[in-house]
Structure 1
Amino acid sequence: MTTVQWTTKDFDVFTIDGLEPRMEALIEQVRPKFNELGEEFSHYFTVELGEEFFAHVAKHARRTVNPPHDSWVAFAPNKRGYKAMPHFQIGLFESHLFINLAVIYEAPQKDAMAARLLAKPELFDALPENFYVAGDHMSPVTQNISEAIANGDVEKLLTRLQNVKKGEFIVGRTLSREETVALLPKAFHQVVEDTFNALLPIYKTMLNR
């Protein structure tokens, strides 16, 4: 069971000016928590999905000027990387924590994944009302799942994922920084596990399992 307790200081890392100072704080303050969550939930996915999953903690190694505005640990069944396949994430922006399943533009089979999801809209009807969808993994902007279903945006996002090279699809749950800080480790673990449990049917459908 995780011992991770988030603090306001963790979120405030993303207000620090300059690449080097922000990265220093991120490495010291936040990355150990991602490492712990990575170890714990890679085991969870290995058990739940029957294949070995690996944790990938964001290093932001390509950045030379602009400091990162978010950070995360991602989970995928590939030791070398995760961006070319559907992956799960736990991460932080300054404003909130996110727990999600993402397919981003690097995934070579994203058109087939989108087609499978478009054929099963009931998967999204089954999600909790406080979940969200989004179409850009770089942006903190999300849309409530119920609203997105009602106005057709889930279908639009999946169609864009299918037909547009830069199309992406993210589905999951956010917690405000205030909500996150208020959660004790056991409660936070349960929120993460409940969220991933709800996302597993979508992941399996993406991969035709």
Structure 2
Amino acid sequence: MTFNGFTKDDFNVFKIDGLDDRMTAIAEQIRPKLAYLGEHFAPALSALTGDEMFYHVAKHARRSVNPPDDTWVAFANNKRGYKKHPHFQIGLWETHVFIWFAMIYEAPNKVEFGKKAEKNADKIRSLIPGHFVWSGDHTKPDAASFSSLSQDEFIALTERVQNVKKAELLCGLHLDRDSVTKMTGDELIQEVESAFETLLPLYKMN
């Protein structure tokens, strides 16, 4: 297939009522695009990171009642899964596309990563642009731009991931749906490539 980007219909999948209907729409409309991005970016990220990277398209297999509000493809240097590892993601909510570097709560080394992030807070501030966003919870669509976070607030995020079992640390880019639906597939791929290059120092820090 060729990748033509994401359409309004793709974002509107998350308005569909009912688990089965929404899961069917995700599987038919969005999952093939995520698989395409997975195949495209796994070798690119392998070259970038120096680790062999594998892609994992979200299956939402554990859901039995509530339909998913977002979906994604994740990249990690493990063939069997990504949640326990530092990883990258491309995905979408109804409102936006997200491009993440993520350390989520399952990762056994997230405390160590939080310590490094706290210690290198000034360096991170110099490397990550102000319009990139930070989050402490991958299950929520909201995130704070780096430019809006004081250094104390950023340090608090890094401390929380060290001290709270469910806390996470994600950094990346949000692209609102109106911008994304105007992009060609190639333009979106270039945007993702650029974001991954910017986020690479965080991956290298773990």
Q: Tell me, in whole angstroms, the C-alpha distance in 1 between the residues paired with 2:130 and 2:187.
A: 19
**Structure 2 matches for 1:102-181, cutoff 5 A?**
102-121=102-121, 122-148=123-149, 150=150, 152-181=152-181
* Higher mean displacement: 92-101 or 119-128: 119-128
Aligned residue in 2 for 1:52: 52
Q: Tell me, in whole angstroms, the C-alpha distance in 2 between the residues paired with 1:143 and 1:97.
A: 15
Pair 97,160 (structure 1): closer, same or farther in 2 beyond 3 Å: same
* Higher mean displacement: 3-12 or 15-24: 3-12
Aligned residue in 2 for 1:83: 83
**Structure 2 matches for 1:25-40, cutoff 5 A?**
25-40=25-40
Q: Report deviation, 1:24.
A: 0.4
Contact 1:130 1:144 in 2 (8 A): yes
Q: Report deviation, 1:129.
A: 2.1
Q: Tell me, in whole angstroms, the C-alpha distance in 2 between the residues paired with 1:4 and 1:117.
A: 36
Amino acid at match of 2:29: Q
Aligned residue in 2 for 1:94: 94
Aligned residue in 2 for 1:19: 19
Q: Percent identity?
A: 46
Q: Tell me, in whole angstroms, the C-alpha distance in 1 between the residues paired with 2:5 and 2:191.
A: 13
Q: Tell me, in whole angstroms, the C-alpha distance in 2 between the residues paired with 1:28 and 1:172.
A: 27
Q: Tell me, in whole angstroms, the C-alpha distance in 2 between the residues paired with 1:51 and 1:135.
A: 25
Q: Report deviation, 1:151.
A: 5.3
Aligned residue in 2 for 1:186: 186
Task: Tell me the TM-score normalized by structure 1.
Answer: 0.95
SS in 2 for 1:152: helix
* Higher mean displacement: 45-54 or 82-91: 45-54
Q: Report deviation, 1:116.
A: 1.0
Aligned residue in 1 for 2:200: 200
Amino acid at match of 2:138: H
Q: Tell me, in whole angstroms, the C-alpha distance in 2 between the residues paired with 1:124 and 1:203.
A: 15
Q: Report deviation, 1:152.
A: 2.2
Q: Tell me, in whole angstroms, the C-alpha distance in 1 between the residues paired with 2:60 and 2:119.
A: 36
After superposition, the C-alpha distances for 1:99-129 in whole angstroms (9 at most, x for unaligned) are 0111111011111111111111121332122
Structure 2: unaligned runs, 5 residues or longer: none
After superposition, the C-alpha distances for 1:128-163 in whole angstroms (9 at most, x for unaligned) are 221100111000011011111x25222111101011
Amino acid at match of 1:51: D
Instruction: Return structure 1 stretches of 4+ with deviation > 4 angstroms.
Output: none
Task: Tell me the TM-score normalized by structure 2.
Answer: 0.96
Aligned residue in 2 for 1:66: 66
